[in-house]
Structure 1
Amino acid sequence: MTWIPVGASIFASNVGAPMFIGLAGTAAASGFAVTIYEWHAVYLLIALGWVFMPVYIASGAFTLPEYLTKRFGGARLRILFSLLSLAIYVILKISSEIYAGVIFLQQLLGWNLYVCTGAILLVTAVYTTVGGMAAVMYTDTLQTAVLIVGAAILSVISMVEVGGWNSFMAQYSHAAPKLTLNDPLNYSCGMPRSDFMHIWRDPETGDIPWTGVIFGLIFNGVCVWCTDQINVQRCLSAKNISHAKGGTTFAAGLKLLPFVLWIVPGMISRVLYPDEVACADPESCERACSNKQGCTNIAYPLLVLRMLPTGLRGLMLAALLAALMSTLTSALNSSSSTFTLDIWRRIRRGASQRELMIVGRLCIIVVVIFSVVWIPIIEKSQGGQLWTYLQTVSACVSPPWCWVFLLAIFWTRTTEKGAFWGLVVGTAVGLVRMSLEFAYPAPPCGSTEVDKRPAILAKVHFLHFSAILSALSIIVTVAVSLLTNPHPTEKLRRVTWWTRHEEAQPLDSESEDELRCVEEEEDEEEEAPDMLKTVVAEPKPKTPRRVYNWVCGLSDAPEPRLSKQEKLLLRQKMTDITEDKNGRAVCIVAGVVVAGITTFLLGYFH
């Protein structure tokens, strides 16, 4: 792939339905601060291309758990990481995508929960299962254009409706439901935050404290952008390292757009429909959106439904489905790859390609079922704010994952035992916090109920907890690594930042695919000399068989056989991280420009 589909696919895979629902909804509730989640990703996407991808490519890994095996050896860390990845796909990605899509379709089309869920899953499953990774990336590129055009049209129309930027800012500061304005005792509950126009907020009173952003969010972001199979898989598909860097830089530039495409429209929706979007008590929220926890999630769907004429409303539905299917297909494809390559092959070492393809399809079905079961938990979590739910859960599970990779890449002294126990201890502590979040929800605004939450919830913001969890993971990993024998130097070739340019391959660098192919080739050579082998034409399969193969992505054609020399040349090409001067210069200039614009915007909206 070239840099355009790589970057467009990264952007489209992230901009799913939660962006329409969660990002716009949180902006409606608290203002500009949620922008930090998008703009900090600019720096991390650039880091993905410049820092992480050279190591991943040089190592020759196809999945991130496979990279961990190449870096540390052994199987337990790879299996644990794979299981955690699948769990995170269920509770963070797939379930939230389905839930957000259901909210949108319910508001837009009036369908019930089960019809919406079924329609979303049916459409997505068909082309994910049939098309595979290539179909996902090409459709992502097209869907990105549809997505941006549709959202841009609504953004312009809604801004005109409120009378321009200055009028919008003035109206938002007083955008409260009538119940709030008429009831002094309940006045503060439906009012916008006084700091709504600022991104950097107070460490104690801010809903997104700047200290949490600097010391906590960065580690959640590294996990999302630099160590997630979805994004890395797209970069690995690039034709060379320059196109991988160009793709991540292109995606970073696109991450500047959500501010005007979803955040500002979400706030405008509160200005136009305060009684519904900013409902201040459980009864009015129940009437507005059938959710007593709050209705900010419907901010963007209401804008689409009431501001756009029929034709443009259809375009926005297309944009939503494009975003929804893009992220769902990416998550389903990556979860399938992770399970088949990193878990099933450990169970069935001699599994054929046909078996792996079928198991991958079944994995998708199981993951979808668990995701649907998880939806009711999302609906009742974090006061009904989808985006806050996503970030809270991420803060509980991401830091240990992040530091396993950071220490693996940048500290050669990190050992397998250190990484394993750092991940285990950090994840265990994070899961305790996550369980408490679900068990002890915060009292709603205006409630006379006493806050009985444990201090770790009531006093420690989830972004601050992310920083604490990061420190714990580092301490455990470093301590155990120093108490165990270091990894042999010859096994660190091309798997760390400091050894990525070494010519020699690591001792255990061959992937299981290559080892299996070599074994099969040797077995065939022992059976008979090449001159005695005969080629028998395979009969053309019947129609039912061809349909079966098409659905499952299988082929009856014999697998190609490569000589050892051909495999060596192929490996050298796939692990090559050299760049030509022109491509490198263009990437550097583009990265500096995008990072500079982001820095200016963060300062302007301080």
Structure 2
Amino acid sequence: MSSKKKNSSALDFFLASKNMHWIPVGASVFATNIGSGNFVGLAGSGAASGIGVASFELNAIFVLILLAWVFIPVYMAAEVNTMPEYLTKRFGGDRIRICIAVLSLLLYIFTKIAADLYAGALFIQLALGYDGDQGEFVSIFILLLVAAGFTIAGGLSALMWADLVQTVLMVIGAVGLMILSFRAVGGYNELVRKYVADEASGNASTCGVLPGYSMHLFRPILPGESDLPWTGMLTGMTISSIWFWCADQVTVQRVLAAKSLTHAKAGCLFAAVLKFLPMYLVVFPGMAARILYKNTVACSTPEVCSKVCGSKSGCTNIAYPELVLNLLPVAILCSLTSIFNSASTIFTMDIWSKIRKQASDVELLVVGRVSIVVLLAISVAWVPILRELRSAELFVYVNQVANFLAPPITAIFMMAILIPRTTEEGAFWGLMIGLFLGVARFVLEYCFPAPLCSLGLIDTRARWIKWFVDDIHYLHYGLLLFLVTFAITLTISLISQPTPATEEDKDAIIETELEKRLTNSCAIVLLVATVSIFVYYA
């Protein structure tokens, strides 16, 4: 009876009646991000090139504070349920809202859903011994039965409380696995020594050679010199992070479900504290896996890797599954349910409600649940393509796609909130041109990949394609997309009629002085701690 009552309206199903405590808010934000895709991706990148990938997690701490102090007060004052809806209230009209909604769904398919399905299926395949494409789809089907069924049956409130439980279980399991991993390689100092000294089997190829900067977060900036140039970390990484944490429905929907601004801020700070964990709980164990399983995780030729994991690009993605299956009896996967719920929210509220303006709550609930099934079908079709893409590292693939498609969204949201003179016309054309440039890079990146690491292969791509794809790092390209979108939006806004300010923009949300002091103090402590880690591992 209670479940039926809570899910009796679209607001209850999609936003948990906006009555959530800060603890489940923060835990849900963290669990939504650190699902199976991140466990596989972070550990795989750690195995491939060291601790550099942890900068994505540490960078999120800064951006979560930005979400709490800059974006959330505006969203709550505007009383919006989805991110595209905010743009409609800010600019008027529906074309930007629909474009952002469609683009968000595409990002969910190409990154979040497909990546989590691939990662979760990888766990199940290795655990149950399934081989080949048939085994992959059987594993995906098992995941879908659990995740989709839970999402369709329950609303956001049920998902967020489940995320709290999953967060506790994930942290406990990951801490145990981290301890076992360090013990297996002889401790932290031995892990660093063995990792730096390690050379992958089959060293006739350069594929398995570790970089000389594996224990540094800040890395060289010239093309081909490093996988994560420090200039891209400070710019492109931050831009895509602002989209993910401040303008993406999956994350913001959980914060909007908070009962007050103070609970929303506290939830963001709680999630930020938890973001310190992945570097130690996932990245370092991934590095340990490379040492412990040299013949599988550290395979160095396309032929060997194809036999080991079915991918010619490399097998570092199996680093965490190998640790789990060899050192722990159980693996815990999550985050798919949260993505399904947010994707159905955007489709229902921002697309279907425009097609059917008089739709009832019952119709919206049905459409939301059906849309989950459709999104799943499209995402499943993308998984085999994802497996065959150039990048051997799942985390790299996810962040490449995000930096090709998300920077225009980041630019539009930041200008909508921070620059009152931004107009609907400027935002629309800035978004369209930025999206076109992002899709162009996306197509070239995966239609004209570099040859696999193996002797005797010649790069036959045109020189301009090689320059465009290889010499412009994806993080730098994200910065360029942001700047182009910003410049076009600002230029057109200045020569077009200004958008009248709405009442929502003028409203304020009141906090007590004690609440402000507590949250501000916690934010300062978090910032100091994060900067200290960056300095230590610079």
**Correspondence for 1:138 among 135, 149, 161:** 161
Aligned to 1:585: 517
Kindly report which structure 2 residues correspond to 1:417-432, keeping only aligned pairs within 5 A, or say none.
417-432=425-440
Distance 2:500 2:316 in 1: 54
Q: What amino acid maps onto 2:187 in structure 1?
A: G
Aligned to 2:504: 494
Q: What amino acid maps onto 1:242 in structure 2?
A: T
SS of aligned partner of 1:173: helix
Instruction: Identify the range of structure 1 (394-403 vs 444-453) with the bigger mean alpha-carbon deviation.
Output: 444-453
**Correspondence for 1:43 among 52, 62, 66:** 62
**Correspondence for 1:75 among 77, 94, 98:** 94
Distance 2:201 2:247 in 1: 46
1:124-169 deviations in whole A, cap 9, x for unaligned?
1111111111110000000000000001101001101111111111
1:26-84 deviations in whole A, cap 9, x for unaligned?
11000010011000000000111111000000011111111111000011111111111
With normalisation by structure 2, the TM-score equals 0.93
**Correspondence for 1:200 among 218, 225, 229:** 218
**Correspondence for 1:306 among 326, 335, 343:** 326
Distance 1:297 1:271 in 2: 14
Kindly report which structure 2 residues correspond to 1:79-90, keeping only aligned pairs within 5 A, or say none.
79-90=98-109
Q: What amino acid maps onto 2:278 in structure 1?
A: P
Distance 1:447 1:262 in 2: 32
Q: What is the CA-CA distance between 1:13 and the residue it aligns to?
A: 0.4
Kindly report which structure 2 residues correspond to 1:49-68, keeping only aligned pairs within 5 A, or say none.
49-68=68-87
1:11-37 deviations in whole A, cap 9, x for unaligned?
000001111111100110000100110
Aligned to 2:137: 114
Q: Does 1:160 align with 2:183?
A: yes
Aligned to 1:260: 280
Q: Does 1:371 align with 2:389?
A: no
Aligned to 2:229: 209
Aligned to 2:485: 473
Q: What is the CA-CA distance between 1:500 and the residue it aligns to?
A: 4.5
- Contact preservation (8 Å) 2:302, 2:454: no
Distance 1:152 1:215 in 2: 32
Distance 1:330 1:303 in 2: 26
Q: What is the CA-CA distance between 1:454 and the residue it aligns to?
A: 3.1
Aligned to 2:269: 249
Distance 1:413 1:35 in 2: 37
- Contact preservation (8 Å) 1:162, 1:268: yes
Kindly report which structure 2 residues correspond to 1:382-531, keeping only aligned pairs within 5 A, or say none.
382-451=390-459, 452=461, 453-489=465-501, 491=502, 493-495=503-505, 499-501=506-508
Q: Does 1:292 align with 2:315?
A: no
Aligned to 1:125: 148
Q: What amino acid maps onto 1:596 in structure 2?
A: V
Q: Does 1:601 align with 2:533?
A: yes
Aligned to 1:7: 26
Aligned to 2:113: 94
Instruction: Identify the range of structure 1 (584-593 vs 47-56) with the bigger mean alpha-carbon deviation.
Output: 584-593
Distance 2:49 2:433 in 1: 34
With normalisation by structure 1, the TM-score equals 0.83
SS of aligned partner of 2:120: helix
Q: What is the CA-CA distance between 1:189 and the residue it aligns to?
A: 3.0
Aligned to 1:359: 367
Distance 1:74 1:177 in 2: 56
Q: What is the CA-CA distance between 1:589 and the residue it aligns to?
A: 1.2
| Structure label with greater radius of gyration | 1
Aligned to 1:218: 238
SS of aligned partner of 1:101: helix
- Contact preservation (8 Å) 1:399, 1:466: yes
**Correspondence for 1:229 among 249, 254, 265:** 249
Aligned to 2:301: 281
Distance 2:354 2:245 in 1: 27
- Contact preservation (8 Å) 2:431, 2:485: yes
Aligned to 1:22: 41
- Contact preservation (8 Å) 1:415, 1:484: yes
Distance 1:423 1:99 in 2: 30
Distance 1:216 1:16 in 2: 23
Aligned length: 509
- Contact preservation (8 Å) 1:175, 1:274: no
- Contact preservation (8 Å) 2:302, 2:312: yes
Aligned to 2:14: none
Instruction: Identify the range of structure 1 (436-445 vs 196-205) with the bigger mean alpha-carbon deviation.
Output: 436-445
Distance 1:417 1:307 in 2: 56
Q: Which runs of 5+ in 1 are unaligned?
A: 502-576
SS of aligned partner of 2:155: helix
- Contact preservation (8 Å) 2:201, 2:298: no
Q: What amino acid maps onto 2:482 in structure 1?
A: S
Q: What is the CA-CA distance between 1:423 and the residue it aligns to?
A: 0.6
- Contact preservation (8 Å) 1:198, 1:605: yes
Instruction: Identify the range of structure 1 (480-489 vs 133-142) with the bigger mean alpha-carbon deviation.
Output: 480-489
- Contact preservation (8 Å) 2:201, 2:299: no
Q: Does 1:350 align with 2:358?
A: yes
Q: What amino acid maps onto 1:119 in structure 2?
A: I
Distance 1:446 1:115 in 2: 32
Q: Which runs of 5+ in 2 are unaligned?
A: 1-19
- Contact preservation (8 Å) 1:26, 1:387: yes
- Contact preservation (8 Å) 1:54, 1:500: no
- Contact preservation (8 Å) 1:408, 1:414: yes
Identity %: 42
SS of aligned partner of 2:197: coil
- Contact preservation (8 Å) 1:128, 1:136: yes
Aligned to 2:6: none
Aligned to 1:569: none
- Contact preservation (8 Å) 2:82, 2:346: yes
Kindly report which structure 2 residues correspond to 1:519-558, keeping only aligned pairs within 5 A, or say none.
none
SS of aligned partner of 1:190: coil
Q: What amino acid maps onto 2:122 in structure 1?
A: I
- Contact preservation (8 Å) 1:176, 1:275: no
Q: What amino acid maps onto 2:436 in structure 1?
A: A
